[in-house]
C-alpha cells in the first residue's frame, strides 16, 4: 500500500522572463509513492516549473514546501541535499569518463581517499536492482542513449534522492528502452519515492503515471487521477481545443517520379559502408515512409539526397536531373526541402533570430536580395507572414531561435522549408526526418497535416521515422531499411505491423511472403 504523504507542494509559483510569463501562479504537489505526470505542449511552462523546484531558476513569487518545510534555494546543491534529483532532456555526462566516475563526480565524500572499487561495486548493485546491465567501468561514449539515461538515474539513486524529476525521458529512447524505463520507475515508486514525469506524450501518461497535472500557457488547467480521464480529454486540456488523432488523407493517384535512387552506396562518419546499393523512387502526390530501427542508414540516406553526404557509387536523380554529389545549394535550387533530424544546429542556427532563420534558404534570391544588398522591407513582410501563417509563438521576429520552445523551433523549420524557393511555389521533394519527434499532440497534428497538404498539392515526400504509427497513418507506400539495405517496399494498404517488425529485424519481404 502506497503512503500518500506529501513530498512537495509548490504554491502560486510565478516566473517571468523578458516578454514572457513562463509560470503564472502555478500550484503543484507530489505525494510519496506516486508517478505524477506534468503534461503540456512545448512551451507550456513544465520544464521551467521543475527547474525552479530543482534550484536552477529562482522564483519571482510563491513558496515551495519540501517534506513539510518551507524552502529557499540558492543553487541545485540545496535541492540535492533535500533529496531532489533531475534527469534533464539533454543528458549531462562526460563522455571520456567511466560510468562510476560520472556518478561520483561532485560528491563531498570521501574527502581525501577515493575507493573506486567500492564505488564500482555500489553502482553495479544499484544497476542490477533495477534490471540494468551497465558495466561500471565502461566509458560513457561506449554506451547507448538508453544506457546513458540509466547512468543519469543511477547518479540520483547513488545520492539517495527520493524526489525524481524526469524531463521528457523517452524522447531519444527506443520502444524497448522505454518499456524498461517504465518498469524501473514503477519499482522506484513502490519503494516510496515520488517521481515527477514531464511529458507531452499522452500514451506514456496512461502507461506509467498515477496522477496528471496539465499545463497550458504557463498555467495549470487541471489535476486529476489518470484513471479518471481520457486521452481525448487530456489533449483538449493541453491544446485548448479538440485534437484529431486520425490523419485525413485524400486518395491521390501518384504522378511522375520526382526522386529516383539507383543502386546508391555511401559511407558513414566512421568510413564504413552505410548504404549498400539502395534503389527507391518517390512520385508526385506520394509519401514514401522509411521505417527502421535507428542507426540502419536513415541519416545517411537523407544526407545523400540533400547533398550533405557524398555517394561512392550509384545515382541520385531529382525530377529527371542527375544531382549525384551536387552541393546542398544546387539541390535546394532543384526544389528540394529538408526537415532534418536535429533541429538545433542543422534545422536552425540557435544564435540567429527567428527572422534570419526563416530566410536561410532564400536570402540570396529576389525579392529578398539583389545579390549585393538585402531588401529588409521584403524580408520582414515575408517573415511576418510566415510567423502568422505557421502560428510561430514568439514575442517578435528578432528573438534568437534558441529561446523558442522545441515545437516552435520545428514550426520555424517547417515554415522555411515548406514555402519553397521564391517564385517556385511548393517544393518538388520534401525529405522529412523524424518531423514530429519530441513534439506535443498539437504540434504533431500541425506538422503532419502540413505535410499531407503538401502531398495533396503535388509534392513528393520521403518520410523517415521510427514512429510506426506515424509511418502507417501517413504513408502511401512503406519501405523498411535494415543495415543499409531495403528489406522490402509495399503499399500502405497491404502493410501489417508484424511484417514491418520482421523486416526491421532483417527479414526480407520476399521471405515473409513465401
pLDDT tens digit sequence for 16-70? 987 788 999 999 999 999 999 999 877 788 889 999 999 989 999 999 999 989 9
CATH placement of domain 6-239: 3.40.50.300
Intra-chain end-to-end CA distance of the chain, in Å: 52
Residue 283 phi, psi (nearest 5): -105, 165
pLDDT given at position 395: 84
pLDDT given at position 378: 87
pLDDT given at position 3: 47
Q: With a cut of 70, list the residues of the chain below it in pLDDT.
A: 1-4, 110-112, 171-176, 242-248, 422-424, 438, 514
Q: Which of 324, 298, 327 is nearest to 312 (CA)?
A: 324
CATH placement of domain 257-512: 3.40.50.300
pTM: 0.66
Torsion of Cα atoms, 253 then 259 then 265 then 266, to 10°: -120
Residue-wise burial string across 348-378, b where 16 or more C-beta atoms lie within 10 A, e elsewhere: beeeebbbbbbbbbbeebeebbeeeeeeeee
Domain ranges of the chain: 6-239, 257-512
pLDDT given at position 2: 43
Q: Which residues pair with 464 in a beta bridge?
A: 290, 433
pLDDT given at position 1: 36
User: Cβ distance 477 to 289 under 8 Å?
Assistant: yes
Q: Which of 4, 65, 11, 72 is nearest to 34 (CA)?
A: 4
Q: Is 507 exposed, middle or buried (0-12, 13-18, 19+ CB in 10 A)?
A: middle
Q: Do domains 6-239 and 257-512 have the same CATH topology?
A: yes
pLDDT given at position 496: 85
Amino acid at each position: 500500500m502506497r503512503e500518500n504523504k506529501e513530498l512537495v507542494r509548490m504554491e502560486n509559483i510565478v516566473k517571468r522572463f523578458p516578454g514572457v510569463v513562463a509560470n503564472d501562479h502555478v500550484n503543484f504537489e507530489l505525494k510519496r509513492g506516486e508517478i505524477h505526470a506534468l503534461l503540456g505542449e512545448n512551451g507550456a511552462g513544465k520544464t521551467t516549473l521543475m527547474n525552479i523546484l530543482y534550484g536552477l531558476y529562482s522564483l519571482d513569487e510563491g513558496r515551495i514546501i519540501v517534506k513539510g518545510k518551507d524552502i529557499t534555494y540558492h543553487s541545485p546543491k540545496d535541492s540535492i541535499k533535500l533529496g531532489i534529483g533531475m534527469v534533464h532532456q539533454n543528458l549531462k555526462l562526460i563522455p571520456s569518463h567511466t560510468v562510476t566516475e560520472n556518478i561520483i563526480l561532485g560528491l563531498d565524500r570521501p574527502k581525501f581517499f577515493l575507493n573506486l572499487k567500492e564505488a564500482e561495486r555500489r553502482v553495479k548493485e544499484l544497476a542490477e536492482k533495477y534490471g540494468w546491465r551497465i558495466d561500471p567501468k565502461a566509458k560513457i561514449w561506449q554506451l547507448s542513449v538508453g544506457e546513458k539515461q540509466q547512468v543519469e538515474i543511477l547518479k540520483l539513486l547513488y545520492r539517495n534522492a527520493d524526489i525524481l524529476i524526469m524531463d521528457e525521458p523517452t524522447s531519444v529512447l527506443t520502444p524497448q528502452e522505454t518499456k524498461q524505463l517504465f518498469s524501473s520507475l514503477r519499482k522506484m515508486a513502490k519503494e516510496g519515492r515520488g517521481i515527477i514525469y514531464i511529458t507531452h506524450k499522452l500514451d506514456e501518461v496512461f502507461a506509467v503515471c498515477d496522477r496528471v497535472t496539465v499545463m497550458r500557457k504557463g498555467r495549470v488547467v487541471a489535476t486529476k487521477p489518470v484513471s479518471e480521464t481520457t486521452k481525448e480529454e487530456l489533449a483538449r486540456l493541453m491544446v485548448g481545443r479538440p485534437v484529431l488523432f486520425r490523419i485525413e488523407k485524400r486518395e491521390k493517384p501518384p504522378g511522375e517520379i520526382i526522386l529516383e535512387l539507383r543502386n546508391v552506396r555511401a559511407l558513414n562518419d566512421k568510413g564504413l559502408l552505410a548504404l549498400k546499393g539502395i534503389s527507391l523512387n518517390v512520385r508526385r502526390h506520394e509519401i514514401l515512409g522509411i521505417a527502421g530501427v535507428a542507426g540502419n542508414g536513415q541519416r545517411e540516406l537523407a544526407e545523400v539526397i540533400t547533398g550533405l553526404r557524398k555517394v561512392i557509387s550509384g545515382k541520385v536523380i531529382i525530377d529527371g536531373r542527375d544531382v549525384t554529389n551536387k552541393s546542398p545549394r544546387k539541390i535546394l535550387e532543384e526544389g528540394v526541402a529538408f526537415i532534418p533530424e536535429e533541429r538545433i544546429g542543422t534545422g536552425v542556427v540557435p544564435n540567429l533570430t527567428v527572422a534570419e532563420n526563416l530566410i536561410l534558404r532564400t536570402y540570396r534570391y529576389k525579392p529578398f536580395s539583389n545579390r549585393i544588398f538585402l531588401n529588409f522591407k521584403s524580408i520582414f513582410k515575408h517573415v511576418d507572414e510566415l510567423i502568422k501563417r505557421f502560428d510561430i509563438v514568439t514575442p517578435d521576429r528578432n528573438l534568437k531561435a534558441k529561446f523558442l520552445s522545441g515545437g516552435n523551433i520545428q514550426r520555424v523549420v517547417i515554415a522555411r522549408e515548406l514555402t519553397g524557393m521564391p517564385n517556385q511555389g511548393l517544393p518538388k521533394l520534401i525529405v522529412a526526418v523524424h518531423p514530429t519527434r519530441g513534439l506535443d499532440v498539437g504540434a504533431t497534428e500541425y506538422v503532419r497535416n502540413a505535410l499531407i497538404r503538401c502531398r495533396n498539392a503535388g509534392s513528393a515526400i520521403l518520410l523517415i521515422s521510427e514512429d510506426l504509427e506515424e509511418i502507417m497513418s501517413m504513408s502511401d507506400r512503406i519501405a523498411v531499411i535494415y543495415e543499409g539495405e531495403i528489406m522490402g517496399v509495399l503499399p500502405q494498404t497491404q502493410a501489417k505491423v508484424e511484417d514491418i517488425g520482421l523486416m526491421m529485424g532483417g527479414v526480407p519481404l520476399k521471405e515473409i511472403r513465401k
